[in-house]
Amino acid sequence: MKTNAFLISFFVAVIFILTACPYQSQVPIDVPNQKIDKTIIGKWVKNSEADKENPEYFQISELDTYKYNIVKFEYQSNDSTYKQTKYLTHFTKIEDYVFMNMQQDGEGDFYLHRIDMNGDEFTLYELTDNIDEKFASSEELKKFVEKNMKLSFFYNKDEIKYVREK
């Protein structure tokens, strides 16, 4: 009986680790000050699902000079509809790295990702949720990101590629 309880606990822990979320911050890395990049506007399909009938995708549009509206569409097979999650997003550039500051529905904590653009595809890297530090200001967070952004363990293991739908 103890073996079954141990196995169940082990599998729950593994599932929790494998479904890690990006680091969440009460402040963005920086205020919106990077102008909109028109090359990212459009529909972006998750590369691993590009051949599926109902793939996961992002629809990215311009909100204003510095911000994007991003809607993530995830297909729900149980009711044959897409679940929509809306984000208000702005980019922060530090050296050659670009970070997304994503706020669900424009409220609450910021989800932080690094984005690497390469023509008609981009790769998202989630900042690791293993960061214990909390930041009172964007300036403090930006210094922390700048110090650690080149370290591989600063990001969750899974990188997600998206391709532009033509």
State both tokens at 130.
């293993």
Is the model's pLDDT at 17 over the cut of 80?
A: no
**Mean local confidence (pLDDT), 9-27:** 58
Q: Sign of dihedral through CA atoms 135, 136, 140, 146?
A: positive
pLDDT value at position 4? 53
Domain ranges of the chain: 22-164
> Could you say which DSSP state residue 128 is in?
P
CA distance 57 to 48: 11
Task: Please spell the DSSP secondary structure of 6-42, one letter per residue.
Answer: HHHHHHHHHHHHHT----EESS-SS-S-SPP-GGG-E
> In this predicted model, which residue has the larger pLDDT, 10 or 34?
34
pLDDT digit string, tens, across residues 87-144: 999 999 999 999 999 999 999 999 999 999 999 999 999 999 999 999 999 999 999 9
In this prediction, residues 10-33 reach a mean pLDDT of 68
pLDDT bucket at 20, cuts 50 / 70 / 90: low
What Å distances lie between residue 68 and 1, 33, 82, CA to CA?
A: 53, 12, 21
Q: What is the mean pLDDT of residues 24-29?
A: 96
Question: Using 50, 70 and 90 to split pLDDT, how confident is the model at 1?
Answer: low
pTM reported for the whole predicted model: 0.84
As its CATH architecture, domain 22-164 has Beta Barrel (2.40)
Whether pLDDT at 19 is above 70 = no
